[in-house]
Amino acid sequence: MMIERRTFLMTAGAATAVAAGLGSFALTASATDPAAEGPFKLAPLPYDPAALEPHVDATTMGIHHGKHHAAYVKNLNAALAGKAELANLPLETLLSKLNDVPEAIRTTVRNNGGGHANHTMFWQIMGAPGGPGPGGDIAAAIERDFGGLEKLQETFNAAGGKVFGSGWVFVTVDKAGKLALEPRPNQDTPLMDGKRVLFGNDVWEHAYYLKYQNKRADYLKAWWNVANWKAIADRYAAAKAGTLTI
């Protein structure tokens, strides 16, 4: 009995540690949770959760979208309840005006609004492995601003690996089409500074831990296999046209 009790305690402790690694908040929200109702919505994934296999596993995708992202939406809507002047703003505008948000909810809006924006972008710029690489204007911009795709991947992965704790690594784009690399902590986003995100990768542990454990570098390298360059090229064209939002 003592051995069985010890085994149970060790197993329970390991499960708790994994849950903590997947995120600091309880995974209780879902897309159908009535408490998630409000001006901001969780859109369905644009592909099956298994579509990114083997590089991003279906279990991670299901939890990441249906629990983590859903929780950001729920918490954002709850924070803005009764504050129509803020709740009715486009998300990118709200995030660029955080100083106008009441101090009592500012951190909640920052974290959860940023999480909602970041993940909304994230699902859009990924797709099934094997798609075509960058071409046309986006390929030319990568060559001009980073020295080519291989150099971009190298510097992007290095920046993502250096994010301490949880965060993101982004490529931003201005209206002239110039690209820049920008890592951010937690759920912060360049949208908070009025910039636009071309694409980015999530380096929170909940994005990769079930498959890659603590090997963030392996995840960053593998992630490029699911980059959807058609979607990224469309975002690049929208940025130059001044119509790119999140």
DSSP states of 170-216 as a string?
EEEE-TT--EEEEEEETT--GGGGT-EEEEEEE-SGGGTHHHHTT-H
Q: Where are the domains of the chain?
A: 57-246
pLDDT at residue 153 greater than cutoff 90? yes
Confidence of residue 33 (pLDDT cuts 50, 70, 90): low
Contact criterion met (CB below 8 Å) for 61 and 47: no
Q: Which of 24-38, 98-112, 183-197, 219-233 has the lowest mean pLDDT?
A: 24-38
pLDDT digits (tens, 9 = 90+) for 116-148: 999 999 999 999 999 999 999 999 999 999 999
pLDDT recorded at residue 21: 38
Region 83-109: what's the mean pLDDT? 97
So what's the architecture of 57-246 in CATH?
3-Layer(bab) Sandwich (3.55)
pLDDT, greater one: 63 or 26:
63
Rounded mean pLDDT, 55-60: 98
Residue 28 has pLDDT above 50, yes or no: no
Task: Of 10-14, 38-42, 80-84, give the lowest mean pLDDT range.
Answer: 10-14
Q: Give yes or no for residue 65 having a pLDDT over 70.
A: yes
> Cα–Cα distance between 120 and 104 in angstroms, integer?
25
Sheet architecture: strand order including 196-202: 179-185, 167-173, 196-202
pLDDT for res 37: 79
pLDDT recorded at residue 36? 55
Distance, CA of 38 to CA of 198 (rounded, Å) = 27
User: To the nearest whole number, what is the mean pLDDT of the chain?
Assistant: 89
Distance CA 177, CA 90 (A): 23
Question: What pTM was computed for the model?
Answer: 0.86
170, two tokens: 């982004």
Confidence class for position 192, pLDDT limits 50, 70, 90: very high
What is the band of 244 on the pLDDT scale with cuts at 50, 70, 90?
A: very high
Least confident segment among 26-30, 112-116, 227-231: 26-30
Residue 24 has pLDDT above 70, yes or no: no
According to DSSP, the residues that pair with 202 across neighbouring strands are 168
- Distances 64 to 6, 27, 51, 68, 195 between C-alpha atoms, Å: 31, 10, 14, 5, 25
Q: Are 189 and 6 in contact (CB under 8 A)?
A: no
Contacts of residue 1, Cβ cutoff 8 Å, sequence gap at least 6:
none
